[in-house]
Amino acid sequence: MVEERLVHSTELELNGDRFEILVYCRIDGRHFAKTRFGDNDIIINDGQSLEEALEKHEKVLPLAVTSRHLLQQVKGLAKTDN
């Protein structure tokens, strides 16, 4: 039995990059939104409804993207310092 099903997909553009947002519905009726940055890097937000999960996700996604860019910059600086 499938425990979740895709009910919505959209894209959000941030700083010239496009990020796919997938929203799923669980068996219990709750929803969660998910964006994959890489194989082991995924951000997930949940909510009582599709709208709530998507709204939360769209608010948090810019912070997640910014923090990942900052981390890449710091890692790049650390490599050049050695």
- What separation in angstroms does the CA of 54 have from each of 16, 36, 69, 79? 20, 15, 22, 37
Locate the domains of the chain by residue range.
Answer: 4-81
Q: For residue 34, which amino acid is it?
A: K
Q: pLDDT per residue over 25-58, tens digit each?
A: 999 999 999 999 888 899 999 999 999 999 999 9
Tell me the whole-structure pTM to 2 decimals. Answer: 0.82
Q: Which tens digits make up the pLDDT trace of 64-75?
A: 999 988 988 888
CA Rg, the chain, in Å?
15
Q: How far apart (Å, rounded) are the C-alpha atoms in residues 38 and 60?
A: 17
Coil/strand/helix, residue 5: strand
